[in-house]
């Protein structure tokens, strides 16, 4: 029962934290679009940029959280799992964000025909990926420590309750 409840909690943590990182990436994508040098109106291409950003941000968050969960299920202490999970997934997260960001640099600096359509997309993705990557690598492990620690305490209390009830309830005969 404890393993199932902790797996449920790990799934809940994965969903909640990756959603939080995605929304944080959105706030990072608004910052460059509102600056005086790159101000542009919100457009369809900018909304496409938000979709691309959310995909990469969620992927990076899940890569990190899944590694932490894997280490916890292998029996490692939570602090070790978070530290080792973050360090072992540093390169994949950075490379995913870097490759996606560098792919949009030519669009961001374009000045020819069609640049007014390309710049909002590139600006949203680059700014959002910078913010989402920083938050994935710094904030997500801290949130994981709080929530997974809470989940471990909850699972331990449940085990204690089941053990206490198991000693007082009569055992059914039959099956």
Q: What is the pLDDT of residues 9-57, one digit of tens each?
A: 556 666 666 666 555 555 555 555 454 455 566 678 888 888 888 888 8
Residue 5's contacts (CB-CB under 8 Å, 6 or more residues apart) are 154, 155, 158
Distance CA 58, CA 55 (A): 5
On the question of pLDDT at 68 being above 70, the answer is: yes
Q: Are 69 and 89 in contact (CB under 8 A)?
A: no
For the chain, the average pLDDT equals 78
State the pLDDT at residue 85: 93
Lookup: tokens for 57: 């941000």
Q: Mean pLDDT, to the nearest integer, of 97-125?
A: 87
Report field, pTM of the whole predicted structure over 0.85 = no
**pLDDT at site 172:** 57
Question: What are the start-end ranges of the E strands in 11-140?
Answer: none
pLDDT of residue 56: 86
Of the ranges 103-107, 117-121, 153-157, which is most confident? 103-107
**pLDDT score recorded for residue 14:** 62
At residue 98, the pLDDT reads 92
- Evaluate whether 129 touches 57 at the Cβ level (below 8 Å): yes
Distance CA 44, CA 51 (A): 11
Q: Mean of the pLDDT values across residues 127-149?
A: 88
Average pLDDT over residues 59-81: 90
The predicted-structure confidence for 142-173, as pLDDT tens digits, reads as follows 888 888 888 778 878 888 888 888 765 555 55
The percent of residues in the chain predicted with pLDDT above 70, rounded, is 71
């Amino acid at each position: 029962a404890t393993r199932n409840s902790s797996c449920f909690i790990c799934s809940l943590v994965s969903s909640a934290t990756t959603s939080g990182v995605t929304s944080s990436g959105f706030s990072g994508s608004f910052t460059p679009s509102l600056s005086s040098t790159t101000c542009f109106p919100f457009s369809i291409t900018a909304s496409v940029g938000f979709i691309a950003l959310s995909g990469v941000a969620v992927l990076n968050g899940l890569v990190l959280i899944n590694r932490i969960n894997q280490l916890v299920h292998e029996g490692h202490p939570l602090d070790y799992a978070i530290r080792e999970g973050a360090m072992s997934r540093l390169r994949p997260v950075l490379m995913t964000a870097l490759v996606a960001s560098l792919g949009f640099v030519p669009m961001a600096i374009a000045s020819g025909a069609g640049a007014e359509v390309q710049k909002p997309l590139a600006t949203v993705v680059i700014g959002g990926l910078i913010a989402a990557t920083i938050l994935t690598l710094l904030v997500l492990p801290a949130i994981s420590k709080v929530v997974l620690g809470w989940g471990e305490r909850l699972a331990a209390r449940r085990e204690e309750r089941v053990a206490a009830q198991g000693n007082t309830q009569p055992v059914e005969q039959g099956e």
